[in-house]
Structure 1
């Protein structure tokens, strides 16, 4: 067996080329593609990498895997404008060319919108909070605003979620940093729209958890299926409760 000089462990089974560059990628889930599960997206992305001819690195061992690190994927059924992942490359590539190649290889709705060269630090550490918009078809804004006032006036809102290890009780109020309701519209007609900023905890509080809390503490009544869209996720500005760009440092350091 011929080993590859520069690999972390050149004597490991099936040694691979070393990683010389890391790229951080922002992608979206739009329209009907919001129903794509994390596992489905991972398969689609790996196929897109092969179609685009991206020189991605692989792990060593008997079953090499592509060097892809996913960070805080949104729940299945939620749309998103701010999903992130990181890939390791075996040769330096132009970030804009990689973005165009991968975007062309993915179906419309799964769109690559930003690619930057990683400079330092951990991408996951930058994802401290998310900003969500939740459309409530059939709900008048006054009813939603009343539920929001009651929710925010409560110190603790306990909800239950079924997890891998069974039913777990979570305090969804503690993770909500900002919450408001305004009038809006969907294809089905007028509706109320919630704007929510949620801190990333363990376990994470999802849009469905916030809605469950609004039902239990604020008396919110839902008529039709809500549509949640993640608008942003990144570093949290604790002074004003806003969510920043997790790739800003990488761009500024270029």
Structure 2
């Protein structure tokens, strides 16, 4: 039986805008098994990006539990008070070790080439892959570059790449720390249909071969149709199909 990668229990997120409270998510509960190809699906304003950020530990819930790889991340923490520095440090470490991020805008460093962009997370701090020898890191990066089909472009900078190639670089960068969970926020939104289809096929291949958990925030029906676990959202709540 697969282990649970992510679980949210009764999670709500409320933003205070002037004198108005906006409920981006409201009492949301779900779990996603390790190795899933999962999608948070819904129209704009449904709360899917908010929940992806909460899973990614880049945004705090207003209430509820966030369980990552069996650990209750905010156990004993009051969300109405300042988050302790010790917890901030822990969240940074968890993001580095447990989670990889893929963005629709790629977020590559313009002055670095493909290989350097992919290597960058390994130099930013301790991660699952940082304990490898330099030779092992090179072999791992070489493997990822080959896996995403960029062997002939490894020395090219982002400005010399197509949109699809930039997203392939971003996928390899997300995988380089050996994080077990990859979060993808509308990863095909800035790609044409051909490149979008190729990127989806690549991520599905990685999901199946490396057993990496993928969680998408999307309204792309192609992603939804490929997902083995779909969480439909509307107005911050889970809705049935």
Which TM class, normalised by the smaller chain length? under 0.3
Greater fraction helix: 2
TM-score (norm. length: structure 1): 0.26
Greater fraction strand: 1
Q: Whose Rg is larger?
A: 1
TM-score (norm. length: structure 2): 0.27
Greater RCO (CA < 8 Å, at least 6 residues apart):
2
